[in-house]
Amino acid sequence: MVMTLPQSMSETENPPIDAAESGVRQPVVLQVLPALVTGGVERGTVEVAQALGEAGWKAVVASSGGPMVRELIRAGAVHVEMPLASKNPLVMRANVKRLEKVIREHGVDIVHARSRAPAWSAHAAANRTGAHFITTFHGTYNLGGFGFKHWYNSVMVKGERVIAISEFIAEHARRIYGLAAERIRVIHRGVDLTKFDPNRVSQERIIQLANRWRLPDGYPVIMLPGRLTRWKGQRVLIEALALLGRHDVRCLLVGSDQGRSGYRQELVDLIKRRDLTHVVHIVDECNDMPAAYMLTDVVVSASTDPEAFGRVVVEAQAMGRPVIATDHGGPRESILAGRTGWLANPDDPRSLADAIARFLDLSAEERQRVADLGQAFVRANFTKEAMCAKTLAVYREILSGAPVVAQQDWLIDPEQA
């Protein structure tokens, strides 16, 4: 829901937290996840750990390791390695004892589980030790016919509080798993504005990337960032560009196929059949996404299945780029439709082509207004700082023993604030 946030709420809803509030010692939070590789879950874990340290709390993270462990340690957190990525029932059972030991050794007050397999182990360990248990519900998860999968997924609603990364996910948890509204706390993902800031991206970085991708000057650039997997909608965008019938644009499909060579070849064949070889280019994973956004005129998210949140949509707006996304899931919340971007019908090339055409028809002044409002919208609602503050507020709520009551997450419309 997007509306103006009352001044009194903005001042009091997320009070600062410090170690002194505990009265005796610094509270300890253990975050549990499969691994610390690159991704939204992992990034959020590191950012919350850093915020805990800055607030005077102790942050502990348990995972099977990964390249982001170094970043976690630099943030002042403790990392404990164990095989939490495993879905083997015997390993999961052994992880209960491992986590129980960590909880007791570090005096953990709150166990925060961020994924299903480790959540089962963490839930049991928290019950054995008396630690508080909360979860973050990151996606819709595959239901598999409401049988075993439904039960397996249900661990994510067993927390004393359940953090949903969007209103869409909160509604899904209520509808599919019967989660009571008063236990849900909606906390949208946040963007690091020190990284996704157009003023911090040098021309040299932009030129280097343009040269690497062999982008000619003078063409509007359309970009779809996302791994090459069918539900991300690359085929929909290619068909939309064929319907658009313009060869004076360039389109970048940015993302790794992660071994899906068959799907990549499908896309290559479709590009050739639609006579778009000079228009659409598939490029591999990009290690400088801020520069990629600056190279781009409009960013597309064409997912055929609903995105739980849609990080790309928010990053693009933070960089002053208009967005076109599918009209379902998280982007309904993270776009001011018709003002910071456009929503197209799911799996509908014609609807997507029409949205691209509307963007291409905008004047320079109209594009600047879209960019300015998009940046203001992100700054008001989707920052890393806001995400961390709201997460720490949930921890504080748990430790205070406050009554469990329903809360509404209000998004701020900058033009109405």
For the record, the structure tokens of 294 come out as 């600056």
Residue appearing with tokens 């509604």: 171
The pLDDT of 382-405, averaged and rounded, is: 94
Confidence class of residue 24 from pLDDT cuts 50, 70 and 90? low
Q: Structure pTM?
A: 0.90
At 230 the pLDDT is 93
Say if residue 7's pLDDT is above 70: no
Nearest to 34 by CA among 149, 119, 148: 119
Say if residue 223's pLDDT is above 60: yes
- The region, left, alpha or beta by phi > 0 then psi within -120 to 50, assigned to residue 104 is alpha
Say if residue 100's pLDDT is above 70: yes
Model confidence over 135-177: pLDDT tens digits?
999 998 887 766 888 999 999 999 999 999 999 999 999 999 9
DSSP state string for 224-273: EES-S-GGG-HHHHHHHHHHHT-SS-EEEEES--TT-HHHHHHHHHHHHH
How far, in Å, CA of 221 to CA of 379, rounded? Answer: 25
- Hey, what domains does the chain have and what are their CATH numbers? 7-190+383-400 (3.40.50.2000), 198-381 (3.40.50.2000)
The pLDDT of 179-200, averaged and rounded, is: 96
